Amino acid sequence: MANHPLLLTLNAGSSSVKFAVFAVTDGLQLRATGQIEGLGASATFSVTSAEEGLSDYGFHLGSGDTCHAEAVHAILLWLKQANADTRLTAVSHRVVHGGIDHLVPALIDDALVADLERLVPLAPLHQPHNLAGIRAARMAFPGAPQIACFDTSFHRNHPFVADTFALPRSYYDEGIRRYGFHGLSYEFIARRLRAYDPVLAHGRVIVAHLGNGASMCAMRDGRSVASTMGFTALDGLPMGTRCGQLDPGVVLYLMTEKGMDVAAITQLLYQHAGLKGLSGLSHDVRALQDSDSLAARDALAYFADRGRREIGGLAASLGGLDALVLTGGIGENAAPVRAAMLADLDWMGLHIDPEANQSNATIISRPTSRVQVLVFKTDEERMLAEHAAELVAL
């Protein structure tokens, strides 16, 4: 890796830390991506370098228990090996929840960390790990500015009707409202669409981020006006292990009739529901597509049906639809899922070209389709890097 300033992005999850390294030259040049997986156990470290391709690094501590601080320290050691001066201009962090107040990326200081700690109850399975990554990086890279980029910020200018629940207004005022997530992905796609087709980008667009976590976002003029996700990352579409839309009465029933406590219900809805729960087999769409079981087929059919319903609802919130963009691991690669989800939408002027869809073309709609359907690869790491570069004027 050449000798020049670097920008590091970190996405700290419960059992992994994903990262990317960009060279700050004329713009941002991606030099490497990597991840440390298996935190809390025997971790593995892999890096894909723009120059050398995929490499695996030995990363097995004697205790067999690797924490976020040790993972970030390992990234520092790798940087020292790959680049002699290891001079970082900034470290940019994905933070799932920014609450009501954080509308744009922010420089991290002690006050911001304390503020983000207050939001842990709103994202209990994500926020603590994001904060662990921030603390570890501040210790490992004390001389570099650290930037927090919030997955909720992109949705913060929704109209009241798209953000509220039908509860007493006091709950909304104290922060019980629809936040929406996957904002960094949606913002990247909005920028990509603007460069691809500026006219279309100003129109009525739905972006479907379909992966292990799944949601959809309605945009007008490149800005979010509605999202399928709500107060937490449980709402909306069914996901790999999360339930998606659920009658709250089900939760009351589980408490009163099944005797389940908060911890048990949390584990059910976050870790044992969605495609995994429906199929009884796997959260992975690839495994379900390869399976001959009826339960696997039913799970995929439910995923497609809920997606089609959400597309219809978001199109109604926009007053029509000009374009649909699919992204995320499923959206970018699973042609049969796309075909099933977008079937029978001729009534709204959406016509899929089966051959283009099967080949994962950029445009998968027919030339005669009034609604253009696109497949874009998302890049949250580049969005993190761009925000950091803009904030510290690199």
Average pLDDT of every residue of the chain? 91
% of residues, the chain, pLDDT over 70: 94
With a cut of 50, say whether residue 144 has pLDDT above it.
Answer: yes
Q: In the numeric block, which tokens belong to residue 1?
A: 């890796």
Tell me the mean pLDDT in the region 271-277.
Answer: 96
Nearest to 364 by CA among 318, 321, 304, 324: 324
Taking the C-alpha atoms of residue 253 and residue 269, their distance in angstroms, rounded to an integer, is: 14
Pick the CATH number of 183-380 from 3.20.170.30, 3.40.30.10, 3.30.420.40, 2.60.40.10: 3.30.420.40
The residues that bridge with 328 in the sheet, in sequence order, are: none
Domain ranges (residues) in the chain: 6-150, 183-380
> Band of the pLDDT at 54, cuts 50, 70, 90?
low
**Residues 6-18: tens digit of each pLDDT:** 999 999 877 788 9
With a cut of 80, say whether residue 55 has pLDDT above it.
Answer: no
Taking the C-alpha atoms of residue 144 and residue 132, their distance in angstroms, rounded to an integer, is: 17
Interacting residues of 102 by C-beta distance below 8 A, sequence separation 6+ = 148, 150, 152, 153
Tell me the mean pLDDT in the region 185-193.
Answer: 97
Q: Note whether 6-150 and 183-380 share their fold.
A: yes
pLDDT of residue 80: 74
With a cut of 70, say whether residue 393 has pLDDT above it.
Answer: yes
Q: Assign a CATH topology to domain 6-150.
A: Nucleotidyltransferase; domain 5 (3.30.420)
Catalytic residues: 151
The residues that bridge with 217 in the sheet, in sequence order, are: 207, 227
> Band of the pLDDT at 61, cuts 50, 70, 90?
very low
